[in-house]
Structure formats: C-alpha cells, structure tokens
Structure 1
C-alpha cells in the first residue's frame, strides 16, 4: 500500500508476456467494472489500483488485486513490490495558499481532492507537489528547480495561466526554448519546449 494506492510491478521478462498480462487484467477489470492504471514496459508491468471516487483503496481494489495475482500466477509472472516507489516533490513555504495557485497553473495540475497542501496530476502520471510548512525566511538560493517540458503550443497558455495565478516573469531571453517564472515567494520554474535546442 502506497498512501492512497495499491501498487506492484510484475517482472514479465518480455514485452509479449507483459502485454498478455495487461490484456487479461483488462478482461477482469471490465467484468468487475473497476479499472487499474497500467504501465507496460519491455520486461515489466506496473499496476496501480485506486478508487478515484474516494481517492483511496476500497474493497474493489482489493478484489481486483486478488484476481490480478491469480492471472499473474497462471502466466508464471512474479510480483516485485520492493522496486515500487512514488516520487513526490515537497516545497517549503510559510504560506501555501499564496503559491499554490501558481504551481497548479504552471504544472497544469489540480487540487488534491482530500489534502489542501497538495496539487497533483490526478491521472497519476506526474509527481505530486505538496507544500511543507516552514517558518518565514528570506528567499533562498535554489539548489534545484523544476523544468516543465511541454509542446510549444502549450507553453504560451501555461505561462499566461501561471502569471495570472500570481507568478512573475524572471526571464524570457531564451524563449521559446525556455522561459523562467517565479511564484510569489521567489521559487523558480522553467517552462521549456524543444524549440531552439542544439
């Protein structure tokens, strides 16, 4: 169990076996009217179960997990839950309400349905960003920042939404390759495209 989800990764050994596992999971999911999130790679299939109506694990997820386990056993595929991890980003802030609209806009995310201090890609593809309470402090020199890489036609609307949400333009001298923005507390992000890169 990973917070609001059940997750495991199956070592399928081949793309064909992973695809067979995914197809069989799809059949059971249709039967149960409850659908997992699957990430098929060359030799693995990552399975995430969540009931999005409650944004957590329910009996439906447990029932589906058991059925998936039986399918995997039939195919001779083993689960490797020890390799599962979820990367989340945490941003220290004395006032999350001040900067949350900016980050929601620049990332194209939504509010977490249960936690006010978090924005996330509700499809579960991008990492969640949560806001860690801290004492007020001078704007720090950042050791890292986010690069949000989007198609060129998405960059302009994303930048305008972030500015409308309280952000400021730090630099557009390298646009359209990248534009540097900052939230109201000075935390920086680059909205990048593939245009103009060497």
Structure 2
C-alpha cells in the first residue's frame, strides 16, 4: 500500500492500512490480510440465516463482488474485500458501515475480537511452501488440492486458492538452496493488529518460542518445541 496518502480515484481510491483500520475499528471490524473481517454471534442456524439475509440486503449490489458470508450455528463470519486486487477504499468502508447498521437494527452487533465470548477473534490462514524450483512444485499442490490460480496471477510464484473459498490460500517462498534441517511448510496466521500479542503470548505459554521479531509488527516467527514454524501477521508495518 502507499505511504501516508492514497490514490484518489473517487470511490475506488485505495486507502492505507492505517486509514482502513481507523475507519472500521469502532464498528467491530478488523483489517486482516487486505480484507475487512467481523463476526456476529447468534443463537441458532435459523438466526444465522436471518442475519445473513439482512446483511445481503444491506449490501445490495455490492454483495456478489465484495461480500463473503460463512454461516454457523453460533455465529456468522463476514468478510468485505475489494474488487480483484484493487485494495480497500471508501466503497468497502461504506459497505461495512451499512452491514453493521443492519446488524444493530436486529439487536445484534458486529464483533471481530470476541472478547468475553466463546471462540476466538477473526483471522485468516495461509500456507507457505518453501521451494527451490517453484515452477515445478506449484503444479503438484494445485492438482492435489484442486486449487486454481489466484485472481490476477501472472507467474509461477503467485498464490493458488480454493475456488470455493473454503480452504487457505497457498503461496510459495523462494529458496536459494535445499534446507532439509528445517520444516519447509509453515502457516501464516493473519490476526487483528490488537490481537497479535495475545495470540503470541498464548503460543509461548503453550510451549512455543519467538524465533524472530525482526519484522514485527508485520509478522513474528514462532516455533513449537520441535522447531516447526508459524508466523503471526498483522497489517501493521506494511505501508510504504
């Protein structure tokens, strides 16, 4: 994303991570992995369906291109994303506001972090695979997962994604030499910026350790007791 400003193209202008986070934080949304994420606690699947219908109605013409809805018996998880690789701008912020208003009118609320309630904060998961020859490795993972190229993919190093949007994206990290002594597949857990320290502390308390905080708050590298690694990531520290 750009520095302190934004590209002014009207309603389609791309905002910085800080601008997006500031705009939606009080609404119960969080900026996670280039999307807006929140959830709504419900008492049944029937209520989840009713809430989802209300949300889709509030989204109107923006629903198909910008809204993701995941229904469960205890909650509805909502995601708002930009069109293709356009990033997030005023249009997506306005959509989040309309959704939160519609949810509030039903006597419920949008809540991304879920403090004091069962479950966890919203997050998005990616799988990273280290490879010396990405061009040869990538087709295997695409085939075995039955994934497709990410929208806008232009080369062999681009991510592959679940066409149904259910599984985590898989991306490939270039290695300059084989590294058999360490794991070569790790998880990237993108969390709300104000949940990262809590998630890291829980992992350390569970026997893990912080391998590196050199790139924090963009990401911290953690490992379990056997050295298997995962990254906890946020949007912070990524604006140029």
Normalising TM by the smaller chain, what interval?
A: 0.5 to 0.7
TM-score normalised by structure 2 residue count: 0.52
1:109 aligns with 2:150: no
1:13 aligns with 2:54: no
1:128 aligns with 2:159: no
Q: State the Cα RMSD in Å.
A: 2.7
Q: What residue is the counterpart of 1:167 in the other structure?
A: none
For structure 2, the residue ranges without an aligned partner over 5 or more in a row are: 1-30, 114-120, 187-240
Rounded to whole Å, the distance in 2 between the matches of 1:53 and 1:138 is 35
Distance 1:56 1:124, change over 3 A: farther
Deviation at 1:57, TM superposition (A): 2.7
If asked which structure has higher relative contact order (CA below 8 Å, sep 6+), I would say 2
For structure 1, the residue ranges without an aligned partner over 5 or more in a row are: 146-198
**Structure 1: 4+ residue segments shifted above 6 A:** 140-145
Rounded to whole Å, the distance in 1 between the matches of 2:86 and 2:170 is 16
Rounded to whole Å, the distance in 2 between the matches of 1:52 and 1:121 is 17
Partner of 2:128, secondary structure, is strand
Q: How many residues align?
A: 144
Partner of 1:81, secondary structure, is coil
Deviation at 1:56, TM superposition (A): 3.5
Partner of 1:80, secondary structure, is coil
Deviation at 1:122, TM superposition (A): 4.2
Q: Residue 63 of structure 1 is aligned with which of 80, 85, 94? A: 94
Q: Residue 96 of structure 1 is aligned with which of 111, 125, 134? A: 134
Structure whose alpha-carbon radius of gyration is higher:
1
1:86 aligns with 2:127: no
Rounded to whole Å, the distance in 2 between the matches of 1:33 and 1:79 is 18
Deviation at 1:142, TM superposition (A): 6.9
